[in-house]
Chain A
Amino acid sequence: EVQLLESGGGLVQPGGSLRLSCAASGFTFSNYAMSWVRQAPGKGLEWVSTISYRGGNTYFADSVKGRFTISRDNSENTVYLQMNSLRAEDTAVYYCAKDLPPFRDLWLCLDYWGQGTLVTVSS
C-alpha cells in the first residue's frame, strides 16, 4: 500500500524558515518524481515544486522560486521542502504527492497524496 506521511509543519514568523519532510513507503521511491502542492485555507490547489526521480532536476512555481528548495534522499525514501523567507501568503496545507508514471523527470499527474501538513506564517 502506498503511503506518504508529511511532517514538519507548524507556526512560524514571517521571514522564518521551516523544513517539511515526506516519508514514502509501498512503492519504489527512487523511480518516481515527487511534488509538493499546497492549499491555502478555503482556497484551491497550487503546485509548489517537483523533484525528478533521480533528484538531479528541480522545478518551482514562480511564487516560491528563490525561497524554497526541494531535495530527496532515495536511500531513506524521503522528500524534503526547505522553505525560507516565509510570508503570510505561504500559509497553507502542504501536500506531498507521487507522480503516476515512473522514470519521468516531470509530469505532475499525481496518483497518491499524503494527508498534508499545515504551515502557518504569522507573527
Chain B
Amino acid sequence: QVQLQESGPGLVNPSETLSLTCTVSSGSISTYYWSWIRQPPGKGLEWIGYINYSGNTNYNPSLKSRVTISLDTSKKQFSLKLSSVTAADTAVYYCARLNWNAFRKFDYWGQGTLVTVSS
C-alpha cells in the first residue's frame, strides 16, 4: 500500500518561502507523477503542480511564477517551494500520486498539513 506523508513548518512569515516535503513509502517513485494540491480554509481544492519521474514539471499558471517542485528519488521524496507567500496561501497542503496512465487520477494522497501564513 502506497503511503504519502507531508512534512514541514506549520507557520510561515508573510513574504517568505513555504517549503514542504512529501515522503513516499512503498512502491516506486520512479515511474509515476507526483503532485501538490491545496485547500484554503472553507474553500475548494486547487491543483498546484506536478513533477514526473524524469524531473519534468508542470505548474498551475496562477502560481507558476512562485512555485518550484523537485524530486529526490534516492530519498523517495518530492518537495514544494512557494515563494513570497501571503495570507491567501494559508491552506491545507496535500501531496498526491498522479497516475498519468489511468485517466490522470490522484490515486494516493497524504493526509495533508496545515500551513498558516502569519507574522
A joins B in a complex: no
Chain B positions within 8 Å of A, measured between CB atoms, are: none
